[in-house]
Amino acid sequence: MNSEKIDQLLNWINDLSDKTEAEVEELRVKLLGKKGEITQLFDEFRTILPEQKREFGQRLNILKKAAQEKIEELREAAASVCSPEKSSCLDTTMPGNSLDLGSRHPISLTREEIINIFKKFGYCVAEGPEIEDDWHVFGALNFPPEHPARDMQDTFFISTDENRVLLRTHTSSVQVRTMEKQQPPIRVICPGRVFRNEAISARAHCIFHQIEGLYIDENVSFADLKQAILLFAKEMFGESTQIRLRPSYFPFTEPSAEVDVSCNICKGKGCNICKGTGWLEIMGCGMVDPNVLEASGIDSKKYSGFAFGMGVERIAMLKWQVKDLRLYFENDVRFLREFETL
Ligand code: PHE
């Protein structure tokens, strides 16, 4: 009897690892099947001399046991591996893991829509800091020293020493920064968050979003302003939209106006959204005051321009007839889901 063969087989068996279920079955046949190598050794065992039987009998039993245990171990390991071919692991009746897609916030949607309209008209987007100094929010914009906006009641101040630091109350500060950096022609829109010290209600919030615009070139007139706003209103609220300008006052524009659009809900007949007037206020605007141009180093004899500013929440409220501004900030998913498909 070949004793070396027994040792070799035993070592080979001990080293076996990582088999598929089919390979384990092949291995069982190869070793322990009817013509298997170990089975053959047992056949051979019957023919050896009686004095050798004790030694070989023990060694063959150890070999057979090692083979059986190894096969069992490999079979269990193979069964626990999950593979797509194995129908037992893949339960196609189980509900899938659906990926919940988020949706764009209505304020982002509106902001983007407004920006895209002005981009078509050739405006660039300009951005600036939310924490500002007095000069960029008030001084450069012709606010007199005693103007109420400069009061703690209306503005959030971070420091009130000589170089006052505050949260911007409008994005006109970005227009000032643009004029300081760039000579006309200037055509920018300035979207961003602004802050005002106001009690939160259905119609007002201490944080909201604005988009302001500035157009400066030679010979820019009030007619250009009116035309730009009319085009915007038609793009935003529909082709049949009309606008009307009412005289108003801002320190940084002269003349100034408040813009109304014809109510797109009742088509001007009067409803509860437009409070029976047929008109909805959407923005403030005006011709840039020469003092403002000069403060930023632009020659007011050569250049003129117009500016306008609107609240994104207000436009979004009108567009979707949302009656309470606070809904935009509470982020209740039931509200946000209504904008999922937009
Ligand atoms: N800055 C003004 C505001 O915040 C809006 C505005 C901008 C008005 C430009 C006129 C011209 O209310």
| 255-308 per-position pLDDT tens digit | 999 999 998 778 878 887 788 898 989 999 999 999 999 999 999 999 999 999
Q: Is the CB of 175 under 6 A from ligand 1?
A: no
How many domains are contained in the chain? 2
The domain in which residue 66 lies consists of 3-89
Residues 113 and 75 in one domain: no
206/160 same-domain check: yes
Ligand 1 center from residue 195 Cα (angstroms) = 14
Q: Is the pLDDT of residue 224 over 90?
A: yes
Decide whether any atom of ligand 1 lies within 6 Å of the 307 Cβ: yes
Cα angle 313, 318, 320; round to 5 = 95
Is residue 98 domain-resident?
no
- Has residue 97 been placed in a domain? no
Is residue 253 within 6 Å of ligand 1 at its C-beta?
yes
Whether residue 63 sits in one domain with residue 20 = yes
161 with 82, same domain: the answer is no
pLDDT at 115 over 70: yes
- The verdict on residue 250 lying in a domain is yes
Distance 257 CA to ligand 1 centre (A): 10
The answer to whether 205 and 326 are in contact (CB under 8 A) is yes
Quickly state the pLDDT bin for 95 (edges 50, 70, 90).
confident
Within-domain flag for 100: no
Q: Which two three-digit tokens encode residue 122? A: 């050739």
**Mean pLDDT of the residues in the chain:** 90
Residues 58 and 149 in one domain: no
In a domain, 99, yes or no: no
Where a domain ends, among 28, 63, 89? Answer: 89
- Rounded to the nearest whole angstrom, what is the distance from the C-alpha of residue 340 to the centroid of ligand 1? 31
69 CA distance to ligand 1 middle (Å): 85
Question: In terms of domains, do 112 and 219 share one?
Answer: yes
Which of 32, 62, 89 is the last residue in one of the domains? 89
Residues 237 and 331 in one domain: yes
Specify the DSSP element, H or E, that contains 338.
none
Measure 55 CA to ligand 1 centroid, in angstroms: 104
Take residue 266 and report the two structure tokens written for it.
């009742």
Reading the block at residue 44, the tokens are 């051979």
With respect to residue 20, please indicate whether it lies within any of the assigned structural domains: yes
> Which residue among 58, 89, 120 closes a domain?
89
Clarify whether residues 171 and 260 are in a common domain: yes
Question: Does 19 lie in the same domain as 122?
Answer: no
pTM greater than 0.75 (yes/no): no
Residue whose CA lies nearest to ligand 1 atom number 10: 285
Tell me: do 202 and 335 sit in the same domain.
yes
pLDDT in tens, 153-211: 789 999 888 788 999 999 999 999 999 999 999 999 999 999 999 999 888 899 999 99
Separation between Cα atoms, residue 90 and residue 84, nearest integer Å: 7
Distance between CA atoms of 260 and 244, rounded to whole angstroms? 5
Q: Is 94 within a domain? A: no
Residue 46 lies in a domain: yes
Res 86 pLDDT > 70? no
Which class for 326: exposed (0-12), middle (13-18), buried (19 or more C-beta within 10 A)? middle
CATH number, domain of 326, equals: 3.30.930.10
pLDDT at 211: 97
Q: Whose CA is nearest to atom 2 of ligand 1?
A: 309
Question: How far is Cα 180 from Cα 194, in angstroms, rounded to an integer?
Answer: 21
Answer yes or no: do 85 and 146 share one domain. no
Q: Report whether residue 259 contacts ligand 1, using a CB cutoff of 6 Å.
A: no
Separation CA 321–CA 39 (nearest Å):
87
